Structure formats: C-alpha cells, structure tokens
Structure 1
Amino acid sequence: MKQIKIPSQLYGESLKRTVLDYSLITIGAFILAAGFVFFINPYNIVPGGVYGIGIVVHHLIPAIPVGTFGLILNVPLTLLGIRILGARFGLKTVLGMILTTIFMDGLTYFIGENDPLGLADDLLLSCVFGGIVIGFGLGLIFKAKATSGGSDIVAMILAKFTKISVGQLLMVVDSVIVLVGLIVFKDWKIPLYSWIVIFITGKVIDITIDGLNYERALVIVSEKHELIKEKILYTLERGGTYLKGEGMFSGDNKRVIFTVVTRREVSALQAMIKHIDPKAFMAVMETSEIIGEGFKSLEEKSA
C-alpha cells in the first residue's frame, strides 16, 4: 500500500492552528469565568445559559458551586446535541466547558463571592463590565471553532425542528432562564439587569469574532469549485448556487459559487478554502435579511 506523505508545511500550519485554538479556548474560558466570578455571581444576576441556572441553584443550595452545576447541565446537553445534530461540538467544546468550571470554582474559592470588587451599590456598572468580559471570553472560545454549550445547544436543537432562527431561539431560552431568576429572587431588578448583561455580551461577541448570529453572503471564484462545494454541502451542511461568470481580463468561463452562511461559519469556510485553493477569490458581504429555504420564508415575512 502506498503511503501518503503530508507536506511538512501543511503539518506545521495544522499544528500551529491547533495550538492557537486550544490557547484561545483556555484564555477564553478563564476570562469567561472571571467575568462571572467578579461581576455576576456575587450579585445574583442571571444572564441566561447553564451558569445562569447555576447561580439560581447556588442561591437555593449554597453547597453546589455555580461552575460545577453548569458542567452537570452541559454534559447531558452536549450528548443530546451530538445525538440530534451530529458530532459538531467535539473535544474543543468539552474542554471549554471543563476549563470554565475549573476556573470559575477555583476563582470563587480563592477570591470569595461577597462583593469582591465593591460594586454592590453600582450593579449597572457591574452588569456593563460583566457583559464585556463574558462576551470577550465567549468570543475567544467561538473563534476557536468551539461553543459555550448550554443554551446554544438547546437553541440549535429547537431550530432543527422549527422554522425559527438559532439567534431568536437563543434569546427566548435565555429570557426564560432570566424569568426563573425573577421567580426565585422575587426582585424585578434581577431580570432587568440580566437582560442588560445578555445584550452587552452579544454585542461584544460580535465585535470579538465579527458576529455570530447573523448571516453573511459569500461569492467564491475558484478553479477548484467542486472541492469547495463539497465542503459547503457536507461539512457546513449549507446550500448554494452556481452562477455562470466570465473573466473580464481573460475572457475564460468561470463557475461562481454563491452561498449564505452564519458568521460563525465564515471563518471555518475561509480556513477550508485556504487549504483547497489559496488563490481563490472570496467576497464576504453583510446581509440585513435572508429570505428563502433554510432561513425565513416569504410566508413568515408577510405574516
């Protein structure tokens, strides 16, 4: 059997990317944990997600740490996500969840949870900086092609069986968790402050990795369009359209790929195309709205 040799340059790039990804996950998990420990957990803010539920449970049963309870919820959710959506989460997401738990509970142990920064009298400031820090940490994790688990997975599962976008479902899931915090703490300030954190977190994530929950329209021109098509169809599980094109200078006929993917998927697709055809032409365009199969239908638009 003929042995296939991997070029040392490609191996080096792959190793470098792997090291970078796991470094981003580690740093992102630490920053995410610090955001909760310093700005959110001490003041019983419930910014959605499994750690939001963990804050509620920790208030009811102080012996259960927030990070540990978040991990307990994340394990079955991740297994359910793999079963329904496929093994798209992988080792990176599992590592991110474990590191976040270790960092969160470790920082809480050493720093404590009784107003570590003296912001008890200025919860708005705590929410603003908490949203910024948490958003930046999550952004680094997403940048490494991992997810934060929890409500992300729930939203993806619900999106598979409904016509509602993942972004909208994520807001619904997190809002339900916020309302649970209202019921437990019996304080209207809790959900109001929590929604501020959720809003700021989302904006900072967008800034960190150029967005997550919005779509991008892509125009791709490459001689190796067949290989790129396979990546779009079978790796990203997205559709697309072939357009007929003609080179303005050469006059050669070209097949142009037009596709729409989420912001999370843009960087993944760029990395795939880089390995397939480094000379490919790729235009990434912002979209204000996508209507059609796989997205919002015309019936929903007119409803």
Structure 2
Amino acid sequence: MPETTNKKMKPFIRILTLALGSLICAVGINGYLRPLGLLSGGATGIAIIMNHLTSFNIGLIVFAINIPLFVLAAFKLKREFVIYSMINMTMFSTLLGVTGEVYKYIGVDDIMLSAIVGGVLNGIGMGITFRGRGSQGGMDIIAALIRKKWDISLGNALMGANLVIIGWGGTIFGIKSFLYTIIVLFISYNFLDKVQTTFETKKSVMIISEHPKEIGDALMANMNRAITYLNGEGGYSHLEKQIIYTIINPREVSKLKKIVNDHDPKAFISVFETNEVRGYRFKERFI
C-alpha cells in the first residue's frame, strides 16, 4: 500500500517541482531582467522583445511561440518529457503573466546587480525544471534535441541556440543591454548545469592495498556496490598489484574510507569527481 501511494504521489510532486522552477524563473525575469531591457534567451527572450514592441502580455506571447516547438517535440522527444513540458510551459506562461509587475516590489536600478540576481534566479529555476524532468518549452526543446543528438551539456546547448536572439535584442535595446545579457546567460546556464548535475555527481574511487580481496568483498557486502579489479605494477617495487575501482555516491565516501581502513590502514585511496555515470545500478539522465 505505501508503495502504491508513493507512485500516485510522484506526478503531483513532479508538477510541484516544475511549478517551483517556473515561479523562480518568472520572478527573475519580471523582477530583474525585463524592466532593464535584459533578456533571458529562448522563447522568453523573444517574448521580452515583443512585449517591449507591442505591450502584449508576455505570458501569452510565450505560449504562442511554443505551439510549433511542441509539435516538433512530439515527434522527436520522449512522450513523458513532452507532456510534462507542456504542463510546465502552461504554468510558466501563466506565472509570467501574473508576475509582470513584481519588479515594483523587488527590482533594483543597478543593471549589473539585476543581471547577476536575474541570471542566478533564472538558472536555478531552469535547473529545478530540468530536475523535475520537464522544460519551459522554447529553446529548452531545441536544447533537448541537441543534447539527445550530440550529448553536450544543456547549458552549452542553450547558450549556442540563443546567440541570434540576444543579437536581435541588442538591436532593440542597445549594445549595453546586449553585453549585459551575455552576462545573464553565462550566469544562468552555469547555474542550470550546477543544479542539473548536483544530485547526479558521483565519486570514482581507486584503492591500492595489500589486501584487495578482503576490501573488495567488504565493499560489495556492506555498500552493495559493484567493483572491478585492475591489474597494476608498483613503480618502485615492480610487484604486481590489484587495484580496486568502484563508483559511489558522495555521501558514501566516509563509509568507504572506514571499510578500507578497517582492513588496511595503509591503503592508498584516490577519490575523484565523476559528472555522469551510465550502466549497472545507475540511472541514465532523462535528457
């Protein structure tokens, strides 16, 4: 019964996650970027320009731009991703529309401060949205298609896809806005990648010990992790050695060190960060 309840709650929790990401993005855009002529890139960047030229509601513009992109996504991307992205895009468009005046309460006149704060909020919001396995539509759809084909980071894909849009924005708002928008995008997509990979980062570990079998058996028994024995040779002694290689979660590092220390206090341990792992017992990124 608890497992069934948990499965039923997952879509609800996921939609709440997407809503949180969209709200943070909307506040960043309407509170700090749009009032000073700064863009966020993608469909929202186009919407900011169109809103400036026509005064149409920015949320409605975003919704209209996304319709053909979602038609494309329906044929190229996973159905689940497209459905949740459509739900999120609707929420995002609505939140952009209703928070249009939020700059009156939280906005600042300093363009650099606005670029930094707006970029951070926009990046965190997008990161949370992708963590919720959805998108805001627009260039997020294009970036997902690019990443699916070439396996590059979402931040880099989005940055490349937005060059034309921020160039157009520069002709409308001026060179100063163009240069500050580059800062906004750089900050946003760095934070996007940080949030996107924070909970996916793993630790690769190599252990050199005089007791490899004992340590290896203990790691498999107590941590439920697969290990691999690599053949090595001591550079000074020229003695053959077995090197233990495994991948663990960051929170498991201290437990691994204790297990190794219990069997061989003199063991050599090397721990380094691994940004993506695919295969046995590790889930592949959704996009």
With the length of structure 2 as denominator, give the TM-score of the two structures. 0.66
Deviation at 1:45, TM superposition (A): 0.7
Give the counterpart of 1:69 among 51, 61, 66.
61
CA contact (8 A) 2:202 2:276 kept: no
- Mapped partners of 1:68, 1:12: distance in 2: 36
Give the counterpart of 1:178 among 166, 190, 203.
166
Instruction: Write the deviation string for residues 163-217 of structure 1: whole angstroms up to 9, x where unpaired.
Output: 87654332111122111101222x11112111111122223334434359xx967
Q: Where does residue 86 of structure 2 map in the other structure?
A: 94
Gaps of 5+ in 1: 1-7, 220-244, 259-280, 291-303
Give the counterpart of 1:43 among 36, 39, 43.
36
Q: Where does residue 15 of structure 2 map in the other structure?
A: 22
Counterpart amino acid of residue 205 in structure 1 = L
Q: 1:81 to 1:54 in 2, by over 3 A?
A: same
Q: Where does residue 52 of structure 1 map in the other structure?
A: 45
Q: 1:218 to 1:28 in 2, by over 3 A?
A: same
Counterpart amino acid of residue 210 in structure 1 = T
Q: Where does residue 152 of structure 1 map in the other structure?
A: 140
- Mapped partners of 2:107, 2:2: distance in 1: 51
CA contact (8 A) 2:42 2:165 kept: yes
Q: 1:163 to 1:107 in 2, by over 3 A?
A: closer
Counterpart amino acid of residue 193 in structure 1 = Y
Q: 1:218 to 1:146 in 2, by over 3 A?
A: farther
Q: 1:51 to 1:255 in 2, by over 3 A?
A: closer
| DSSP 3-state at the match of 2:136 | coil
Q: Where does residue 189 of structure 1 map in the other structure?
A: 176
- Mapped partners of 2:86, 2:148: distance in 1: 22
Give the counterpart of 2:71 among 79, 89, 94.
79
Matched, 1:283 2:225: no
Deviation at 1:140, TM superposition (A): 2.2
Matched, 1:210 2:175: no
Taking only aligned residues, the RMSD between alpha carbons, in angstroms, comes to 3.6
Counterpart amino acid of residue 196 in structure 1 = I
Instruction: Write the deviation string for residues 259-303 of structure 1: whole angstroms up to 9, x where unpaired.
Output: xxxxxxxxxxxxxxxxxxxxxx9635744799xxxxxxxxxxxxx
Matched, 1:249 2:238: no
Q: Where does residue 138 of structure 1 map in the other structure?
A: 126
- Mapped partners of 1:288, 1:105: distance in 2: 36
Q: 1:119 to 1:101 in 2, by over 3 A?
A: same
Q: 1:189 to 1:257 in 2, by over 3 A?
A: farther
- Mapped partners of 1:132, 1:155: distance in 2: 19
Q: Which moved more, 1:86-95 or 1:140-149?
A: 86-95
Counterpart amino acid of residue 70 in structure 1 = V
Q: Where does residue 238 of structure 2 map in the other structure?
A: none
Gaps of 5+ in 2: 205-212, 229-245, 250-271, 278-287
CA contact (8 A) 2:202 2:273 kept: yes
Deviation at 1:100, TM superposition (A): 1.1
Counterpart amino acid of residue 108 in structure 2 = L
Deviation at 1:17, TM superposition (A): 2.4
Q: 1:196 to 1:78 in 2, by over 3 A?
A: same
- Mapped partners of 2:157, 2:216: distance in 1: 44
With the length of structure 1 as denominator, give the TM-score of the two structures. 0.63
Q: 1:179 to 1:257 in 2, by over 3 A?
A: farther
Higher CA-based Rg: 2
Deviation at 1:96, TM superposition (A): 1.1
Deviation at 1:141, TM superposition (A): 1.6
- Mapped partners of 1:202, 1:288: distance in 2: 16
Instruction: Write the deviation string for residues 213-234 of structure 1: whole angstroms up to 9, x where unpaired.
Output: xx96798xxxxxxxxxxxxxxx
Counterpart amino acid of residue 68 in structure 1 = L
| DSSP 3-state at the match of 2:26 | helix
